[in-house]
Structure 1
Amino acid sequence: MRTLYPPVEPYVRHTLQVEAPHTLYVEECGNPAGIPVLFVHGGPGGGCEPWHRQFFDPDRYRIVLFDQRGCGRSTPHASLENNTTQALTGDMEQLREHLGIERWMLFGGSWGSTLSLLYAQACPERVLALVLRGIFLCRKQDIDWFYQQGASRLFPDAWQDFIAPVPPSRRDNLVQAYHELLTGDDEVRRLAAARAWSVWEGTTSTLQHKPALVRHFADSYIALSMARIECHYFINGAFIRPDQIISDAAQLKNIPGRIIHGRYDVVCPVDQAIELHHAWPEADVQIIPASGHSAGEPAVAGALLEATDHFAGQLA
């Protein structure tokens, strides 16, 4: 099975001033003259990690990673002010112009697939190709599956920990109840809720339990941005129209793509990948056996590497 490319360090780091109060962290790795590729991280509210650089051949790609508003090393941390989907796609376009890139490939998983698709639909002429993993269409039924009823039946033990911060009388709308906790003035309750929200995602992201991944999601700094920003987006319907990605799929017609999805993805069930493929048949789809949601699942990572190698040859 394929393994990730060796670790690589950035050759330059940037900060990009966008709409106040936000400043984005940006880094570039690999070959400055290579095929430009933008790594679009998940969440919303996640951030880039060093291992994310390793999905690309550093000799053939100019690898750009950035932390979205309120995420990772971008500031202010976990801020919800002026934090919307339209703002993020605008930031991506501002970043492209700032770096002097005419067209680039997008690589995104989970929420990163959502944001990549929305950017590609808004700016199709700027996109060379899409490599997407763990498709998240961000519809009400997709959010309800994971945060109200659905995944709860597969992980009933972990679900009890997720709902614990919410009083029983408020559990008919958990996203709403969590939003009140995560934006409230009680710092102790806010952090406890953030950890419970984030650990639920970390626990369900892999086919086999990975304690190290759960510990990563439980880290207070990571949990606070993940929980606050995800909940902020989901209570607002991700700031998009119902079923917007499928409705606007015609905008993707001339963009080559690779859709990669774990068969047993509990966070974003595989029907979302199939629906996207039906609406965008020009993209190849791979359903990966014995795999869950995470990009770190060995077979999923192997498929992603094969995809980036394929496009390195196609786009050279």
Structure 2
Amino acid sequence: MTSDGFHLDVGDGHAIWVAPWGNPDGVPVVFLHGGPGSGCAPSARGLFDAARCRVIFIDQRGAGRSLPARARHANTTQHLIEDIERVRQYLKIERWLVVGGSWGATLGLAYAQAHPSRVTGLGLRAVFLGTRAELVWALDTALAAFHPALHQALYAPLTEDERRAPLTAIWQRILDPDPAVHTATVRAFYRAERALSELHPAQPGPDTDHLPASPFLEAHYFLNDCFLPPDSLLQSAASLAGIPGILVQARLDLLCPPVMSHRLAALWPDSEIRMVEAAGHSVGHEQVFAALRQAVSDLTA
């Protein structure tokens, strides 16, 4: 174990990075990053009161400092749920608050529904329910409407046959081992997703030899419908009864629009939606960050 974290062998050739932080005697919290594949950013510590909380940051399989990097074998939602439980048991934590945004919200919901007795509450930002319909909305409908040039760049290479199922084709191209096939699509996908994440997206920098890691794991998960049965997170919402939840939702989130938070809250009476106006998907937006920090504070009071 190092001063800021350690690798935990979870089997299948994976060792996930686990980083406890804050007060060892504080309220236990597990933080689930987005992506899939993004890894935990140091800035996430700002969501928590170090004196009040014992926060466990987990880099999921193939992400962040977990090993092997970008590995997709034995990497499914069920594997990640089992990893979270393995970390909880290893650290001898009885119950904990689950915090996450976007894909982290998806995984948090899936974990809580699988292990409701281990969850004291859920602080979720930008609810994503892991469905193909949400991905079609974000990466086709919203992208074409709000960033048509980026939509054109992402879809232009597709053949006539591929256009019959364009998102499937895009993810298959990303996962193609041939750099001549995947490189341009990875860059276009990454730029499109970044643009949808921010109200004022920065201009993309020049292409480099380095490719971002997250599109590969996202393509792996999205091609497989996030390894979840259709609409399973809504259909299993009743299992969250008695678990308090706060859903932080940005009004202008183009990736995870407010309708998904409302659909979940309608089936989960113990939850409340806290809307942030004039903000988009990114947790880096000052008001979104502050709202999630307040949600964590309220759930750990």
Instruction: Give me the TM-score of the superposition, normalised by structure 1.
Output: 0.89
- The corresponding residue for 1:252 is 240
Give deviations 1:21-72, integer Å, cap 9, x for gaps. 2111111111111111111001112111110111000010111111111111
- Distance (Å, rounded) in 1 between the aligned partners of 2:127 and 2:173: 28
Matches within 5 A, 1:81-92: 81-92=73-84
1:11 to partner: Cα distance: 4.7
- The corresponding residue for 1:285 is 273
1:66 counterpart SS class:
strand
- Distance (Å, rounded) in 1 between the aligned partners of 2:171 and 2:250: 29
1:33 counterpart SS class:
coil
More off after superposition, 15-24 vs 56-65: 15-24
User: Which runs of 5 or more structure 2 residues have no equivalent in the other structure?
Assistant: none
**Contact 1:105 / 1:128 at 8 angstroms: preserved in 2?**
yes
- The corresponding residue for 1:3 is none
- Distance (Å, rounded) in 2 between the aligned partners of 1:142 and 1:31: 38
Q: Determine which of 269, 274, 279 is the counterpart of 2:262.
A: 274
* Cα 1:292–1:219 shift into 2, 3 Å: farther
**Contact 1:67 / 1:73 at 8 angstroms: preserved in 2?**
yes
Matches within 5 A, 1:145-224: 145-167=137-159, 169-211=161-203, 220=210, 223=212
- The corresponding residue for 1:243 is 231
Q: Determine which of 45, 48, 61 is the counterpart of 2:53.
A: 61
1:165 to partner: Cα distance: 4.3
* Cα 1:67–1:87 shift into 2, 3 Å: same
- Distance (Å, rounded) in 2 between the aligned partners of 1:19 and 1:165: 39
Matches within 5 A, 1:9-20: 11-20=3-12
- The corresponding residue for 2:99 is 107
What is the one-letter code of the residue matched to 1:117?
L
1:273 to partner: Cα distance: 0.5
User: Which runs of 5 or more structure 1 residues have no equivalent in the other structure?
Assistant: 1-9
**Contact 1:259 / 1:285 at 8 angstroms: preserved in 2?**
yes
**Contact 1:159 / 1:200 at 8 angstroms: preserved in 2?**
yes
1:220 to partner: Cα distance: 3.5
* Cα 1:218–1:259 shift into 2, 3 Å: farther
1:299 to partner: Cα distance: 1.1
Instruction: Give me the TM-score of the superposition, normalised by structure 2.
Output: 0.93
- The corresponding residue for 1:7 is none
1:268 to partner: Cα distance: 1.0
Percentage of pairs with the same residue: 37
What is the one-letter code of the residue matched to 1:37?
V
More off after superposition, 107-116 vs 160-169: 160-169
Q: CA RMSD in A?
A: 1.9
1:97 counterpart SS class:
helix
Q: Determine which of 71, 77, 95 is the counterpart of 1:79.
A: 71
Give deviations 1:136-162, integer Å, cap 9, x for gaps. 011221121123334321221221222
2:100 counterpart SS class:
strand
**Contact 1:179 / 1:231 at 8 angstroms: preserved in 2?**
yes
1:309 counterpart SS class:
helix
- The corresponding residue for 1:308 is 296
- The corresponding residue for 1:6 is none
1:12 counterpart SS class:
coil
Q: How many residues align?
A: 299
